[in-house]
Amino acid sequence: MDNINFFIGLDDTDHLDLGCTTENFNDFLNYLAEKINFTIISRRLVRLWPFANRRTRGNAALSAVIQLNIHDEQKLYDVTYDWFELLLSNISSHPSSNFPASPVMIISKTKFSEQIYWDTVKGHVDLNFRLNEIKDYNCKVYAGNSYWGAIGASAAISWIPCENHSYELIAWRESSMIGKKRIIDIKTIAELDENFPETFVNRDPTKNRGLIAPRTPCPVLYGIRSKSPEILEKAHKWLQLNNNVEKSSDYAVHCTNQLSDDHVTPSSGTVISKPLISKGAHSSVKVILDGKLRTLVAFYQGGSVNLLLRSLRPGDIISWTGLSSSDSSIHLEKLSISDAVPRIISRPLCCNVSMKSAGNNQNLRCTKCNSYSEKYWKGYIPNFSNIDMVDNWTEPSPSNRRHLTKPLNLGAPHLNNLIS
């Protein structure tokens, strides 16, 4: 058999209020299956840089590796063309938006450089730069009037799942149900959690809130996550047999970079300012990172990250993960304190009152009994026992984490540049 692998990527098909690239890509694979014989080697759901301008919700792109007979290559391109025309016509009826969908599908026989993925998950990518980059691969690019989707589609093709990957089973809704309230109660989600301990991030126990169903009007019914694709199939079938759960129209298991922390680089630095607490309930400190002054920001939603940031003092040595925003401040995701300076409480006591400094280069003096003492402060090393920590790190509650963020219970960040 003359079989050959094709890498297929798709992105930027959805509108903020409708559609979902996961469903469009599933629809494409189903459409293709009606026309030609092929085997799916792998399906991938890749989350990209969370601060990208054109992102919708979780900034996801889709890809698949499929294998087919070399004689069907032209047919693959023809069928894809037909499907893509249908997609464009469908999208043309979307309501107007600041960022109208700009779908791009890429088919390549050659694997793209992994650097394309890293550039797209860690920062901004210039569209023209990327279009030039992928020219080298002699791939087929399907697009409408604009090419924005090429950034995510190429990144989804170039991702190589490494030890960090996990799986997400996505179940989609019947079209008649879209827009209606999803039928899946928190009690069933708690049972899912209990019966399938290998699944994760099903709910936020701190808020008694389910995390498997989106809160947007998109066609996704739910997504279940695990390190094991087999467990996901079992969990899905169990959910679908439950009378309290809406029936899905279709489902697929995707290999994903979610929970990988691929979007961040852990860093360490020394705090050089007291925390500044703003009215909006977020807080910030200044740190020195690689010889440069940077501002770290934690938001109200950051929960214990915000709490820990507010407890910092100049001289503390901390580590963090976070994203550099457009104003070059770093929006924290996780925070750790590796070395805390002593917190000053007072001068030593004598006769039940604080001793006073008698001036520069002078001893401390008790104003009651007039005895003297060497000059020093009383203090303590804080233990931050009021803050939830795992391996000395703290993180927001599950509902306030990004798809890409690795929960601490899957392992704390590794630092290469840790200050010793």
The binding site for Zn ion (CB under 5 A) comprises: 350-351, 366, 368-369
Compute the least distance from the CB of residue 355 to Zn ion, in Å: 8
Residue number, 86 or 351, with CB nearest to Zn ion: 351
Instruction: For 191, list phi and psi in degrees, rounded to 5.
Output: -70, -40
Q: How far is the CB of 358 from Zn ion (least distance, A)?
A: 14
**Residue 237 or 356 with smaller CB distance to Zn ion:** 356
- Closest by CA position to 38, among listed 10, 81, 72: 72
Residue (35 or 365) nearer to Zn ion, CB: 365
Q: Indicate the residue among 40 and 353 with the shorter CB distance to Zn ion.
A: 353
Q: How far is the CB of 365 from Zn ion (least distance, A)?
A: 9
CB of 344 to Zn ion, least distance (A): 21
Burial of 384 (0-12, 13-18, 19+ CB in 10 A): middle
How far apart are CB 289 and Zn ion at their closest, in Å?
46
Angle at alpha carbon of residue 161, lines to 262 and 238, rounded to 5°: 100
Q: Which is nearer to Zn ion, 252 or 350 (CB)?
A: 350
- Cβ atoms of 167 and 253 closer than 8 Å: yes
**Shortest distance, CB of residue 356 to Zn ion, whole angstroms?**
11
Contact between 381 and 342 (Cβ < 8 Å):
yes
Give me 81's structure tokens.
Answer: 């063309």
Nearest to 172 by CA among 251, 233, 95: 251
> Which of 310, 365 has the CB closer to Zn ion?
365
Instruction: Give the span between the Cα atoms of 167 and 226, in whole angstroms.
Output: 5
Residue with smaller CB distance to Zn ion, 170 or 366: 366
- Least distance from C-beta 369 to Zn ion, angstroms? 3
CB of 376 to Zn ion, least distance (A): 16
Paired tokens of 277: 């607490």
Complex with Zn ion: residue 350 or 412, whichever CB lies closer:
350
Q: Which is nearer to Zn ion, 89 or 367 (CB)?
A: 367
Specify the residue, 241 or 369, whose C-beta has the smaller distance to Zn ion: 369
What's the burial of 11, exposed, middle or buried (CB within 10 Å: 0-12/13-18/19+)? buried
Q: Whole-number minimum distance, CB 351 to Zn ion, in Å?
A: 3
